[in-house]
């Protein structure tokens, strides 16, 4: 086998990623989940040992560290940068990847991704292979690409951020619920919370526009996909230097139904009740104290400042 350009790699994995109920084909379709890692039901220790063996076959000295608590992956990744690792691999879902990214942003250490969670939106964005052998071969090849990151206050995100209802759902679908139902927990919580959630007006300012925009639900995207393989921002690119913003203008039940239909069918750009913008900076005002998530991880409430960070991360692809 041809030796890789990488010399020293650290695999960071979440032992709990991808837990929960196995989804039926119908539920996968409803949730917009098509690309499921065929090896995600392996014991995580077996999975990461297979990754390690693959990489060492390419001459890459490889270590393994499991995460033990929320935020641990960020610390491990930041320490890996200080210790001179030229490659860090995140083996987990979007939450694990988000933490690793926050430890690697603006460093020279390259991120490799082995999707092993349930949805893995970033893996879909980058069209990464889901089987381990192919993924490791692709990483070891040395091909790289620089991608933009979004940043909410001091927290980076790779794929998406949300203000309002979806962030509320993320917060309610806590880790215990997700452990039982997996990705299905988001659907259960969303259907229940739609009956009780109070949609309050969200006020945001885009770049230097003098007049703020208003809506009742806001999605900010760094790529095309949202919550799986649902295309929400068809013009978006993960390396174009912009964030794509969808503002949902109304809150009545008929509008909500039309929003769900538009997202599911990929026709969000034709819905006249959804405003679409591309921008570099976003200010979300305090009014309403709305919940906020990044990459499906709850992070707090408004006010927040959001900005794009061009080419802030290098990905092995």
Beta bridge partners of 294: 161, 297
Within-domain flag for 201: yes
Whether residue 30 is found in the same domain as residue 100? yes
Spatial separation of the C-alpha atoms in residues 285 and 87, rounded to whole Å: 38
Within-domain flag for 241: yes
Whether residue 102 is found in the same domain as residue 234? no
Spatial separation of the C-alpha atoms in residues 288 and 302, rounded to whole Å: 8
Backbone angles phi, psi at 190, to 5 degrees: -60, -45
Whether residue 126 is found in the same domain as residue 164? no
CA distances in angstroms from 157 to 15, 99, 138, 235, 259, listed in the order given? 22, 9, 24, 19, 24
Within-domain flag for 148: no
Whether residue 260 is found in the same domain as residue 288? yes
Q: Assign 246 to helix, strand or coil.
A: strand
Within-domain flag for 149: no
pLDDT (tens digit, 9 = 90+) per residue, 264-284?
A: 877 787 888 999 999 999 999
Eight-class DSSP state of 69? S
- pLDDT at position 231: 87
Within-domain flag for 225: yes
- pLDDT at position 33: 57
Within-domain flag for 150: no
Whether residue 174 is found in the same domain as residue 236? yes
pLDDT by position in tens, the chain (length 317):
689 999 999 999 988 765 555 555 555 555 555 554 545 555 778 889 999 999 999 999 999 999 999 999 999 999 999 999 999 999 988 889 999 999 999 999 999 999 776 668 888 889 888 889 999 999 999 999 999 999 999 999 999 999 999 999 999 987 666 666 666 788 888 888 888 899 999 999 999 999 999 999 999 999 999 877 888 888 899 999 999 999 999 988 888 888 888 888 777 878 889 999 999 999 999 999 999 999 999 999 999 999 999 999 999 98
Task: Judge whether 136 and 51 are in contact, CB under 8 Å.
Answer: yes
Spatial separation of the C-alpha atoms in residues 270 and 189, rounded to whole Å: 28
- What tokens were used for 240? 């174009």
Q: Residue 14's closest CA among 37, 47, 53? A: 47
Whether residue 114 is found in the same domain as residue 165? no
Residue carrying the six token digits 């089987």: 131
Within-domain flag for 173: yes
Whether residue 160 is found in the same domain as residue 306? yes
CATH number at 36 reads 3.40.50.10330
Q: Is the pTM of this model over 0.85?
A: yes
- Is the alpha carbon torsion for 237, 204, 282, 123 positive or negative? negative
- Is the alpha carbon torsion for 116, 121, 122, 128 positive or negative? positive
Whether residue 268 is found in the same domain as residue 240? yes
Provide the number of structural domains found in the chain.
2
Encode 298-310: b = buried (16+ Cβ within 10 Å), e = exposed.
bbbbbbbebbbbe
Q: Residue 103's closest CA among 74, 70, 80, 73? A: 74
Residue that is last in its domain, among 142, 175, 196? 142
Within-domain flag for 1: no
Task: Judge whether 145 and 317 are in contact, CB under 8 Å.
Answer: yes
Residue that is last in its domain, among 110, 142, 174? 142
Can you give the residue range of the structural domain that contains 107?
A: 8-142
CATH number at 222 reads 2.60.200.40
Strands (E), 14-86: 61-66
Residue that is last in its domain, among 107, 142, 177? 142
């Amino acid at each position: 086998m041809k030796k890789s350009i990488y010399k020293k790699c650290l695999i960071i994995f979440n032992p709990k990623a991808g837990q929960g109920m196995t989804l039926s084909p119908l539920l996968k379709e409803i949730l917009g989940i098509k690309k499921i890692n065929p090896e995600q039901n392996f014991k995580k220790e077996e999975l990461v040992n297979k990754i390690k063996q693959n990489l060492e076959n390419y001459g890459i000295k490889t270590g393994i560290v499991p995460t033990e608590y929320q935020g641990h992956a960020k610390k491990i990744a930041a320490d890996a940068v200080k210790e001179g690792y030229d490659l860090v691999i995140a083996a987990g879902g979007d939450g694990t990847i988000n933490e690793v990214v926050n430890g690697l942003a603006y460093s020279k250490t390259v991120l490799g991704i082995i999707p092993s969670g349930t949805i893995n939106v970033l893996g879909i964005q980058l069209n990464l292979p889901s089987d381990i052998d192919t993924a490791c071969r692709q990483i070891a090849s040395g091909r790289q690409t620089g991608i933009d990151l979004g940043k909410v206050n001091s927290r980076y995100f790779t794929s998406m951020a949300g203000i309002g209802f979806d962030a509320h759902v993320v917060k309610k679908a806590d880790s215990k619920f997700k452990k039982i139902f997996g990705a299905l927990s988001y659907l259960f919580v969303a259907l229940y919370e739609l009956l009780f959630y109070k949609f309050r007006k969200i006020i945001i300012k885009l770049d230097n526009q003098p007049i703020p925009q208003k809506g009742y639900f806001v999605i900010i995207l760094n790529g095309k996909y949202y919550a799986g393989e649902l295309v929400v921002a068809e013009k978006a690119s993960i390396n174009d230097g912009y964030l794509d913003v969808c503002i949902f203008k109304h809150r009545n039940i008929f509008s909500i139904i039309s929003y769900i239909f538009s997202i599911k069918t990929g026709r969000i750009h034709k819905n006249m009740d959804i405003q679409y913008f591309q921008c570099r900076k976003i200010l979300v005002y305090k009014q309403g104290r709305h919940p906020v998530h990044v990459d499906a991880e709850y992070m707090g409430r408004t006010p927040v400042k959001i900005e794009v960070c061009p080419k802030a991360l290098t990905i092995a692809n």
